Amino acid sequence: MSFLMKNPKCLKSTQVQVRNLIGKKGFLKEDDIQSFAYLKAVIKETFRLQPVAPLLVARETLRKCNMGGHEVPAKCLVFVNAWAIGRDPQVWENSEEFCPERFIDSPIDYKGQHFELIPFGAGRRICPGMQMGIATVELALANLLYKFDWEMPTGMNEEDIDFDVLPGITTHKKNYLILVARKIND
């Protein structure tokens, strides 16, 4: 929600898509999610900029190797920095900018086949809860956007939203996002 509130046009586009596709039926089913291309792009872009686990599970090298011009000895623990990959300007145009449109009609997914977006890891050690986590985020966000209009509390605006996180294995916002939810008329 932080990225959407900081980017009101993206918030509006996502809400319009969700509300138009659900229509008057009043509820959202998991099957409906497949139609939400822009919502899925928003979530991918959020995971790109703010992965839940910025450093993926460490791997141990089997033998001496060379990584990016650096000699790495055998039995060395190597961490993959998903946060840095998601912000790499050699991979992403305008890498610090929130731009869900970059994922529209893009083959890039979470399954670890595209190493420029690996918030859940890749290969045999990919997060076993990936599918459940993605489904939970998609359903929760779609329902929040379908049922409510969102605004900043009185006296706050989008410039006041920060993205500071607490250090740790997983990221947690340092300062809570406080919003006003207004139920829409059905």
Q: How much is the pLDDT for 166?
A: 86
pLDDT in tens, 68-97: 899 999 999 988 999 999 999 999 999 999
Tell me: is residue 10 an annotated ligand-binding position: no
Which pLDDT band, with edges at 50, 70 and 90, does 141 fall under? Answer: very high
Which pLDDT band, with edges at 50, 70 and 90, does 172 fall under? Answer: confident
pLDDT in tens, 29-58: 888 888 899 999 999 999 999 999 988 888
Q: b/e map of 129-147 (b: 16 or more CB within 10 Å)?
A: eeeebbeeebeebbebbbb
Q: Does residue 26 carry a pLDDT above 90?
A: no
Q: How much is the pLDDT for 186?
A: 57
Q: Does residue 168 carry a pLDDT above 70?
A: yes
Q: Which two tokens stand for residue 119?
A: 């918030």
Which pLDDT band, with edges at 50, 70 and 90, does 23 fall under? Answer: confident
Options 3.40.920.10, 3.30.360.10, 1.10.630.10, 3.40.1160.10; CATH for 2-183 is 1.10.630.10
- The continuous run of DSSP H or E covering 13 comes out as helix 8-22
pLDDT in tens, 93-140: 999 999 999 999 999 998 888 889 999 988 888 899 999 999 999 999
CA-CA-CA-CA torsion sign (147, 156, 50, 169): negative
Distances (CA, A) of 31 to 19, 21, 38, 104: 15, 12, 16, 19
Q: Mean pLDDT, the chain, as a whole number?
A: 91
Q: Are 140 and 148 spatial neighbours (Cβ–Cβ below 8 Å)? A: no
pTM, whole model, 2 decimals? Answer: 0.90
